[in-house]
Amino acid sequence: MLLLVSSPSGAGKTSLSRRLVADHSDLTLSISATTRAPRPGEEEGREYFFKTRPEFEAMIERGEFLEWAIVNGHYYGTPKAPVMAALEGGHDVLFDIDWQGARQIAEKAPDDSVRVFILPPSWADLVRRLKARAQDSEEIMHARLKLGREEITHWAEYDYVIVNKSFDRAYADLGHIYRAERMKPGRNPWLPGFVEGLGQEQV
Ligand code: 5GP
C-alpha cells in the first residue's frame, strides 16, 4: 500500500505520519530529497536528503524519482529505489508529500494508493501552530500560508479527510484508516491459500 498524506504546512501531518510509522513495523516512511535548506534540528537522511539544485536535476535526468514537484520555489522529490525496496520487502510505504506528488503517485499506482488529507480545525489554528514552530522567518511563514491555501483547494481529490482538532483523535482516525485499508482482500495475497487451508482442515 502507498499511503499518501498531504496537508497545508502546520496542520500536523508530519507528526501524525511519523507516529504512525513508529507504531507499525510493516510501514516505512519515504524520505524525500529537497533543495531547500535544512531547518534547525533537521538531519540529513532523517527528515530529508538535502541536495543542491544541480544534484537534484541530475537525479531527475537519471529518472531516479517516482515523482517530483516544485514547492515554494524548491525542488522536492521521492527517490524511487528505497520505495521499491520497501515494497519488495513486503512493507507499506507512507509519503508525506504535497498534492502534486500525491496525484502523480496515485495516477501511477491507482489500486495501491490511499490518499489522506489533514485539515486544520481553523485558519487561526494553523497560523498559531506555524508561529509556535518559530522555525521560519516572517516572510517564509507568509509564503507557507499562501501555499497552504492552495494546498487546501485539493482536499476533495483525497480518499479520506481528517480534521486535526486533537492530535490523539486525529492519530486514532489515521490508524483506523490504515488498518481498514490493510484488510482489503487484494492487499493480502496470502488469503486465498489460507482460506483453502481452512476448507481442508479435518474436524
Ligand atoms: P517542508 O519544506 O515544510 O518540509 O515541506 C513543504 C511541502 O513539500 C510539504 O507539503 C511537504 O509535504 C511537501 N513535500 C515533501 N517532500 C515531498 C516530495 O518528495 N514530493 C512532493 N511532491 N512534495 C513533498
The pLDDT tens digits of the residues spanning 1-10 come to 999 999 998 8
Q: Three cell numbers at 199?
A: 476448507
**Looking at residue 140, what is its pLDDT?**
83
Model pTM score: 0.94
Is residue 203's pLDDT more than 90? no
Nearest CA to ligand 1 atom 3: 9
Q: Three cell numbers at 59?
A: 537525479
What are the DSSP calls for 131-191, one per residue? HHH--S-HHHHHHHHHHHHHHHTTGGGSSEEEE-SSHHHHHHHHHHHHHHHHTSGGG-TTH
**Looking at residue 171, what is its pLDDT?**
98
Q: How far is the CA of 1 from the centre of ligand 1 (A)?
A: 20
Kindly state if the Cβ of 66 falls inside 6 Å of ligand 1: no
Chain centroid offset of residue 92 CA: 12
Whether the CB-CB separation of 20 and 26 falls below 8 Å is answered with: no
**Looking at residue 48, what is its pLDDT?**
97
**Residue ranges of domains in the chain, CATH in brackets:** 2-183 (3.40.50.300)
Q: Three cell numbers at 69?
A: 514537484
Segments in 1-98 forming alpha helices (H) = 13-23, 53-61, 80-88
Q: How far is the CA of 96 from the centre of ligand 1 (A)?
A: 7
Which of 186, 173, 158 minimizes the C-alpha distance to 20? 173
From residue 9, give the alpha-carbon distance in Å to each of 5, 50, 136, 184: 12, 19, 12, 31
**Looking at residue 130, what is its pLDDT?**
86
Q: Three cell numbers at 160?
A: 479520506
Summarised one tens digit per residue, pLDDT across range 53-102 is: 999 999 999 999 999 999 989 999 999 999 999 999 999 999 999 999 99
Q: 138 or 23: whose pLDDT is higher?
A: 23
Give φ, ψ of 190 to 5 degrees.
Answer: -80, -15
Which of 160, 4, 161, 164 minimizes the C-alpha distance to 69? 4
Q: Sign of the CA dihedral 60, 15, 3, 89?
A: positive
Which of 193, 153, 64 minimizes the C-alpha distance to 49? 64
Kindly state if the Cβ of 32 falls inside 6 Å of ligand 1: yes
Atom of ligand 1 nearest to the CA of 69: 22
**Looking at residue 137, what is its pLDDT?**
80
Burial 109-126 (b: 16+ CB within 10 A, else e): eeebbbbbbbbbeeeeeb
